[in-house]
Structure formats: structure tokens, C-alpha cells
Structure 1
């Protein structure tokens, strides 16, 4: 099961790296960052969680190699010349309770304003997604206290805010604050998830100078508003109880989305989910179509990061669900997808109930663009 998790997360990491600029595609500025971080572990309020929190005082380090896009194309200007790249994060001490959490990831960093790009101090927000490893998972004999995580391989997620102070053309100082999360998406329980809230201080080295200088203002092109039909297949697995096997989880979604702006699409659709293995999980009870499936209406939002990479976000309400499958009446979804061509896309999302992971959705899909209904802008 850990192999399946790692393959899925490496696929997503590969998608993010593949979306980075290559030498022949466009101009960019290479950067190298090194930081030290320190912060608390966040407890979920249970007695065992408070005990681990009091034992773990998190200290870590991070190194990142990034490419800041400087070509004056539309998406670069729209997102204020963002930086994409890859990185490695590690805890410095080894903690017997949780191990030495480490992660390899792809990241994106987005300045808040064009106006501050040439100032010494500027602010940004960032997101990191990758593969977490080197954790010491729950074991009923060797590590019974750690009910945060049940697997050595996990998803690694880190997001937050960043302040940069430019010393000269070559060096910058920075500080970040955010939330760092390790989770296996309920593929192996226990999976309360490890949450850390570190504050980091670091130095950035600009390997290249910015050339040409990014534009501070620009004219928006015409936005061709149209509808899109999205058909998506979800594949995954779920572990319902500690010590039990994992079972296949999957589903199918149909969504209609509309261009709301240059950055966002919004829409509405239906999700159908299946949860086989009912008779194995509940011996003596009959598994039926009804108790092994669920149907929901879902509101969808797509955040376009560039012409190929985007984040799907959804909030769904079930028309039919089963508490035996650990479902509540609504669910949330967030992830990353990559547009392979005009029609095909792939990616990974996490589906959750009340912020508690249901399963990772490895997704492949097909988009049918509609006719242009409206043109706005210049």
C-alpha cells in the first residue's frame, strides 16, 4: 500500500516538475534558498496527542531550487512573476515518537502585488506538495503512542505566507509562517495526521539576474467565456480500522464549469462513489448496491495557476450516503491537476469529511470545451 501511495505522490510531484520552465520555453531566474525552522506540533486535543506534543519540539531545515518566471507572458504577469521549483525538508533531531519527518516536494510562490516587486520588502504566499517519508508510524507493540500516523510514506503539504527583504541583487533574507502536514489519506490507520506550525528564517541567493525586467502594468487580453464539461474517474483506497486491510475506493464525476475570470472557473456537478468490501468489513451483513455506493451534488471551483496547471476545489452534499463507509452528509475536496492537452487531464485530490481524510483520489479525466458564449476585456 505504501508503494501505491508513493507512486501516486511521485506522479503529482512529476506533474509539478514537468510544469516548470525548460531552457527552450521561456526566460526565468534561478534561485537557491536555505532556511531553518522551529515551531510547535499541533495536538488534536486527545490525551495521547497532548503527550506527544509535549515531547516533540520541532526543529528543521529546508533547501529549495526555484525558477522565477520572468517572461512577459500573460499568466506570468497575472500572477506577478511567480516562482516554481523543487525542495527538500527535514527535521533535524530524531524524535522517537514520530521519527525524523522529511519531504521532497514541488512548490509555487506568488507575490501579493506587482507594485512591490521592485521594493526591498515584498510579501508572498506559497504552497508545497510532495512525498513525506522517514516517519516512525504507529505500531501496537513498538510505538503505540503515535496514533497520528500509520504509515512510513505519506503526503507532504506545506502552505503559508512569506516576507522577503532584498539586500542586493544577489542575496535576500526571508521569513515564513505556515502549516506543515503529513497524512496518508486514510490508506492506513491510524491517520490523525501530523500537523506542525513552524516559523522559518532563511537566505535566498539569486543565481541569475532578472532580464528582461518584468512589467509592472499590462493590458488584459480578451477573455473568451465558455462552458466546459468535465468527466473524471477517481481511483483510491481506504483503511477503515486499525489492523484491518485496505479496500478499494473510487468514483466518477461529471461537472459543468464556466469561465468566471482569468484565474477561476466555477461550476456544479454530480459525484458517484463506490465503497466495496462491505461484507468483509461487517461479517454477517449483506453488501448491497445501496450500502456500497453514494451520490452527491458538488460545487466546483478551479484555480488556474497557468495554462496547464490548476487546483480543483470542491464542496459536496450527499443525496445518498452511508455512515458505515465513514461518510457524513457533506465533503470537501482539494488537489492539483495537469492539463495534458485540450481534452485530457490527470492529477490527485484529497477528499475529506469535516477536514478528516476519506481517501486520495488519483484522477484521470476528459474535458469537452463548449462554444464561446461571451467575450470580455479589450
Structure 2
């Protein structure tokens, strides 16, 4: 696999070199990786994962938007991540190849935290979709219920220039993949890895001048959100599932071009509820409800990047007739404004560290 990634790296470098004058600051990176720990919430895992990342950095320093400048954004990244998980075992289990290989395609940000001369410290979060080679339904893998999974990765990297066009990178990251309970079991896999790589500009980069102006952006100081989404939670060790509908109404106060504070009410409608006489099929851990409705109130920040916002909130239930003693929840997601008054959204509902479901839908933002 390393030979394949190396070949792809060389081919992409050659292909993009012809566009150097059009995209003078874009670059490509190849970073082999080895895990320093693979872990999950309910099982002890042993062994090492091997792999690497191939990244295409789309430079944003030449003509930054206001949010890019405020965030010290260096690039927007397209990331291909590969992990060979053949050596990973659940402690006490001697079975080989339990997890198989994993592949992921992510979109990410490359944020400059600190710079000293030719050396720079970067924070690089990324999110996308991944493919897991083995699942519960292929070889009784107890942690993963589906081949397709949501994948997130956060890394810290140090880069230093070797030449005007070439940099050396070294870093540590944590990668997580799971399917947000669309199919259960859904413990997911976490892998922490160290990397050493090379970054090659597609031509000699030209640094922007210190007085480069950011593109101006306009935003509303006060706004309200009215949202609706729908999702599905899986039945344990089954390909069946139950649908949920999520409703939200909230108020946003925009502090600046990238940060807003938001509070609102979440209501979730269960299309099917818990039936004690059919315990195994209707029990859903912390998400188990006797009633069709649960209602909570939450507070948290929105991080805006142009028309895209990342949302995180922590909430307390005003009404939840839960099978388990459960009073709090949190949500995370994103919304993208397709119109001034409307956005598409994806939102995950979580109890403690356990996903309930992901809802996809719309958000309406009428003017106050």
C-alpha cells in the first residue's frame, strides 16, 4: 500500500506541476503513519495500525476572506487516509484480520497556531466518510456495524522549510470512525498516530504581503433558526432500524465573522418507542424512550466559515421519559446557507459518548 501511495503522490505532483502558474500556492503532502494507540470505549485493543495520508492543500493565504484571516487559515485540504488494521486485536481474542483495512476521504482545514522563521505549528481538523473493511455482519466484528462510516481526524503538525518549495512535516493525530448508530453495534475505532512526511509546493510559493486585505463579509448580528431533520437509529445486531424526526427553534447572537452564541429548544419525535415485551429489538441504550417525544434546551457556539457553520451544543432535558436515568445530551453538526434565509443541515444527537442518530434536513433563518 505504501508503494501505491508513493506512486499516486509522484503522479499527482507531475500532473499538477503544469498548473503551477495558475495555482502558485497549492501543494501536495505525503505522510506515512504508525499508530501509538488504538482504542475504543468498551474494549481493550492491542497491536499497531500502519498507513498514511495523501493531502492536497488548497492555499488560502493569497486573498483570504474575513473568516480565513481571523482563523489564520493556511489552506483548505482534501485528505485521503489509509489504515492497515490487520494487527489490531481485542484483548484476549486471537482472531486475525478482525478489523481489516480502512479508507477515508476527508475535507479539512490547516490552521496556523505559531510561526518562528521557517518553522510553523499547525492544527488540522478534518471530517468526511470512510470505508471499514470488516463489520459485525461480515466477520462478527463487535465494534463496527457498517462498512460506511463518518470519519473525523484532528492533528497537530510541525513543518519546516527545506527549500523554498519543499517542507518537512512531523505530527500526531487522532482519527475516529463510526456510523452514528445508523447500524448497531457502533462502538467505533479511535487511532492515534505519529507521522513524518514531505510537502511539495506545485511551484515556489510567494508569501502574501503583511498588509493584504481580507475580503469583506456581511452578517446579521441577531437571527433565529427553525430546523427540521430526519434520521435513523439501528437495531442492535440487526439491519433493521427506527426513524426519528428532530425539530429545533433557537436564537443566535453573532460576535464576529466566525463566532456566534446560540441557544434553543430541541424536540425529537420517536416514530417507534420502547416496548418492554420486545426488549431486545426496541431497547436503544441511553436513547430508549417510553414516549414519542423528548424535549430539551441547549446552549453552545456556532463557528462560521463563510456560508458554512459548525454547531456544538450541550443541553438539559425538559421532558424525557427514558428507560435509563438520563437528563442531559449534546448535539453537533453543520449547516450551509444555500439562501439568505435557508440552509441545509446535518446534526448528530449524543448521550454521554454514545451516538443516538444523525438527522439530515433544513434550517430556516427568517429575518427578525
- Normalised by the size of structure 2, how large is the TM-score? 0.81
CA distance in 2, matches of 1:200, 1:123: 14
For the aligned residue pairs, the C-alpha RMSD in angstroms reads 2.9
Counterpart contact for 1:71–1:214, Cα < 8 Å: no
Q: For each residue in 1:75-113, what CA deviation from the matched residue of structure 2 results, as whole angstroms up to 9, or x when unmatched?
A: 332222431121211124645111101101111111114
Question: Structure 2 vs 1, CA of residues 45 and 341 (structure 1 numbering), >3 Å: closer, same or farther?
Answer: closer
Deviation at 1:194, TM superposition (A): 0.5
Within a 5 Å distance, the mapping from 1:155-174 to structure 2 comes to 155-174=150-169
Counterpart secondary structure, 2:67: helix
CA displacement 1:214-266 (0-9 Å, x = unmatched): 43687997987621111111211002422262110121101100012332110
Preserved contact between residue 227 and residue 363 of structure 2 (Cα < 8 Å): yes
Pick aligned residue for 2:81 from 62, 83, 89:
89
Q: 2:200 aligns with which of 194, 202, 205?
A: 205
> What aligned pairs does 1:35-74 form with structure 2 within 5 A after superposition?
35-44=31-40, 46=42, 49-50=43-44, 53-54=45-46, 56-69=47-60, 70-74=62-66
Aligned equivalents of 1:356 and 1:86: distance in 2?
A: 28
The secondary structure found in structure 2 opposite 1:77 is: helix
Distance 1:42 1:225 in 2: 44
Alignment of 1:291-370 (within 5 A): 291-305=291-305, 307-324=306-323, 328-370=326-368
CA contact (8 A) 1:265 1:303 kept: yes
Once residues 320 and 37 of structure 1 are traced to their aligned partners in structure 2, the CA distance between those partners, rounded to angstroms, is: 46
Q: How far is 1:178 from its partner?
A: 2.1
**Unaligned segments of structure 1, at least 5 residues:** 1-22, 371-378
Mark the runs of 5 or more structure 2 residues left unpaired by the alignment. Answer: 1-18, 88-96, 280-288
**Cα distance per residue 1:337-361 (max 9 Å; x no partner):** 2221211211323221112111112
**1:291-320 deviation digits (Å, cap 9, x = unpaired):** 121001111310012x21221111111101
CA gap 1:168/1:356 in 2 versus in 1, 3 angstroms:
same
CA contact (8 A) 1:349 1:360 kept: yes
TM-score computed with the length of structure 1 as normaliser: 0.79
Change in CA separation of 1:237 and 1:121 when aligned onto 2, cut-off 3 Å: same
Deviations 1:164-185 (A, max 9, x none): 1111221111122121001000
How far off is 1:208 after superposition?
3.7
- Matched with 2:271 is 276
Residue-by-residue CA offset, 1:33-66 (whole Å, 9 max, x unaligned): 10011114443464xx22xx22x31111110112
Q: 1:122 to 1:242 in 2, by over 3 A?
A: same
Task: Please state if 1:78 is matched with 2:70.
Answer: yes
What CA distance in whole angstroms lies between the structure 1 residues aligned with 2:214 and 2:63? 15
Alignment of 1:120-139 (within 5 A): 120-139=118-137
1:256 paired with 2:251, answer: yes
Q: Quick check: 1:148–1:194 contact (8 Å CA) kept in 2?
A: yes
Distance 1:290 1:74, change over 3 A: same
